[in-house]
Amino acid sequence: MTLLEIDLKKLESNYHSLREHLDPHTKMIGVVKANAYGSISGLIAQKLVELGIEALAVAYADEGIQLRQSGVTAPILIFYPQIARFKDIIHHNLEPVLYSKRSWVKFAEQTQAEQKSAYPIHVKYNTGLNRIGFDPNETDWVLGQLKNSPFQIKSVYTHLGQTESPKPDAATDRQIELFNPIMHKHNAAPEQMPEYHLLNTSGVFNYPELHMDWVRVGIGLYGFANHPRWNQSLQPIAQLKTNITQIHYIKMGETVGYNCGWKAPENTRIAVLPIGHADGFSRQYGHGKGWVLINDQKAPVVGNVCMDMVMVEIGDIPCSEGTEVVIIGAGIRADELAENAGTISYELLSSLGNRIPRIVKE
């Protein structure tokens, strides 16, 4: 059967490796959105808190509520809070990121309705990614609102679009140029002094001078840094393994899978594996774009990936029904497999479905 094994020792080692890159005063927000990048968010969050992480972040309110219900009491940022969930955010003591006048006004109303004061919030500015965030021109509006607000502004940040590019990078420089005056204005305002942050995992490695008060690390905790050089200090925490369900002898000219996706060029053997696109093993890995390791040898995917199963060509690789198969693990990195099929480790990991049982190695 298919299993995702999560190694907490490796998480711990990645956490310490990332810390070593930071000044002692820089704090870490551990990003555990999307089920901790496809692993187990409650467990990963607990472990990170135990290791000393200062805060956690998820994308949406429900993810934060789930962490609270699993007993996590650390500060939890909600990166992309939706107005319909503001009440739940307050009820679960979660810290929203406010990103527009509308989100600000609605959250202020909700906070007052709940009779809260000095409620912790974070403010995000859009400096060029053009995803969410206040326009830099709205800084004065934000500062004006702060005067009598029910909020305590804990941090102010922006998100860089190109931290994977090494310096110098014109787009990053432009974003920093826009962010500097925002920080200056916030610092000059007498009301509240926030802390500041810019960087995700790649940024921690590529922009050591921009670490500031906090960094927001996700993929690095799970063992990837988007560059071979930086990958060396990290270890992928997840291994995806399965076993061969059935083996078929295929004659030259026979086809395999839906739409006769593959035609055998010679007599060969194929193995059928119990994972499919419903589990996050995407159709993108079909037609040889993806492969697995069986007894340390590469077996390419043949034809189309089905919803629940996939077929790989095993030729004369020594194996039989029941033999263990490595889909992601030693000798087969999630980032390489993903790249070969035109995607990235983030998508491969975060789409691993919840039909796959997670097991924990401590």
Ligand X SMILES: *Cc1c(COP(=O)(O)O)cnc(C)c1O
31 binds ligand X (CB under 6 A): yes
Binding mask of the shown chain, residues 189 to 208, with x at each position contacting ligand X by CB under 6 A: -----------xx-------
Question: Whole-number minimum distance, CB 34 to ligand X, in Å?
Answer: 8
Residues 6+ apart with CB under 8 A from 137: none
Whether 298 is a known active-site residue: answer no
Q: Does 125 bind ligand X (CB under 6 A)?
A: no
CA 243, chain centre distance (Å): 27
Task: For the CB of residue 296, give the shortest distance to ligand X in the complex, in Å.
Answer: 30
Given candidates 79, 99, 104, 281, which one binds ligand X under the rule CB under 6 A? 79
Q: Binding segment for ligand X among 43-51, 213-221, 283-291, 322-330 (CB under 6 A)?
A: 213-221
233 burial (CB, 10 Å; 0-12 / 13-18 / 19+) is middle
**Least separation in angstroms between CB 77 and ligand X:** 9
Nearer to ligand X, 281 or 346 (CB): 346
Is 207 noted as a catalytic residue in this protein? no
Query: Per-residue string for binding with ligand X, 152-191, x by CB under 6 A?
Result: -------x--------------------------------
Residue 181 Cβ vs ligand X, minimum distance, rounded to whole Å:
21
Among the listed residues 249, 258, 263, 298, the single catalytic one is 258
Q: Is 44 in the site for ligand X (CB under 6 A)?
A: no
Which candidate in 10, 27, 33, 124 is catalytic?
Answer: 33
Q: Within 10 A of 193 (CB to CB), how many other CB atoms are there?
A: 10
Cis peptide before 190 (omega within 30 of 0): no
* AA letter at 345: S
Report 216-235 residues binding ligand X (CB under 6 A).
Answer: 216-220
- How far apart CA 149 and CA 63 sit, in angstroms, is 27
Bond before 168 cis per omega within 30 degrees: yes
Judged by beta carbon, residue 64 or residue 218, the one nearer ligand X is 218
Q: Which residues pair with 310 in a beta bridge?
A: 273
Cβ atoms of 48 and 15 closer than 8 Å: yes
DSSP assignment of 20-79 equals HTS-TT-EEEEE-HHHHHHS-HHHHHHHHHHHT-SEEEESSHHHHHHHHHTT--S-EEES
Active site residues: 33, 258
Query: Which residues lie near ligand X (CB under 6 A)?
Result: 31, 33, 79, 159, 200-201, 216-220
